[in-house]
Amino acid sequence: MGTGSADSADGEFLASLVADAVQPALIRFDQAIADLPPADAPEFVDHASVILADLRKLEQIGARAVRHSRGSAVEVVKALGVIRRRYDELMLRTSEHPAATLGQRLYAARHRTNLTASEVAAISGLPDELVVAVENGAAVDDAEKAARIEALIQDLDSDH
């Protein structure tokens, strides 16, 4: 048996493992989301941010499994879709809180206008990596860049 067959078998095995692991993880995420404090509670954003970070990790694992599955990833693709929907729903809900982070608000504005992170980066003149990092919870230490992101959020939300 050649290396291609071994790689394909490894990819299928990885996809199967991820699909099996994602289902119980999603059940735990659903419970954690259900157990969040009320959306207007002061601690809501902090608690939701922890879940969002963990959902991002699970999404990365699922995406990696899809890339390595060699066509046998239907269950992983479905699970990845569910992970991404949970993430979107919670991120949009969190972005409505008065204490939402700059990245949460940017993600929501970008999502509402159906733009990619790369498109937001291009129109704001910021690096793609910064847009992704901010949406993933990184702080913006540069006041001028933070102001550009704030202005972009206002511009994107002005039509909605």
User: CATH number for the domain including 149?
Assistant: 1.10.260
Do residues 23 and 78 share a domain?
Answer: yes
| 131 has a pLDDT exceeding 70 | yes
DSSP structural state of residue 97: S
CA gap 129, 41 in Å, rounded: 31
Domain that includes residue 139, residue range:
101-159
Do residue 50 and residue 81 come from a single domain?
Answer: yes
Do 139 and 77 lie in one domain? The reply is no
The pLDDT value given to residue 13: 73
pLDDT tens digit sequence for 64-90: 888 877 665 687 888 889 999 999 999
The CA-atom distances, in angstroms, between 18 and each of 37, 44, 57 are 30, 30, 13
- Are the C-beta atoms of residues 126 and 150 closer than 8 Å to each other? no
Is the predicted pLDDT of residue 153 greater than 60, yes or no?
yes
Examine the domain organization and report whether 71 and 8 are in the same domain. yes
Q: Give the chain's mean pLDDT.
A: 89
Regarding whether 93 and 115 lie in a shared domain, the answer is: no
Query: Is 92 in the same domain as 108?
Result: no
Q: Are residues 83 and 4 in the same domain?
A: yes
Q: How many domains does the chain have?
A: 2
Q: Which pLDDT does position 71 carry in this prediction? A: 62
The model's confidence at residue 56, banded by pLDDT at 50, 70 and 90, is very high
How many angstroms separate the CA atoms of 108 and 91, rounded? 7
Residue 2 has what pLDDT?
A: 45
Residues 95 and 120 in one domain: no
Given a cut of 80, is residue 17 above it in pLDDT? no
| Same domain? 35 vs 95 | yes
| pTM for the structure as a whole | 0.85
Residue 95 CA to residue 107 CA, distance in Å, equals: 8
CA distances to 85, 118, 126, 140, 142 from 122, rounded to whole Å, are 25, 6, 7, 17, 18
Q: Do 13 and 78 fall within a single domain?
A: yes
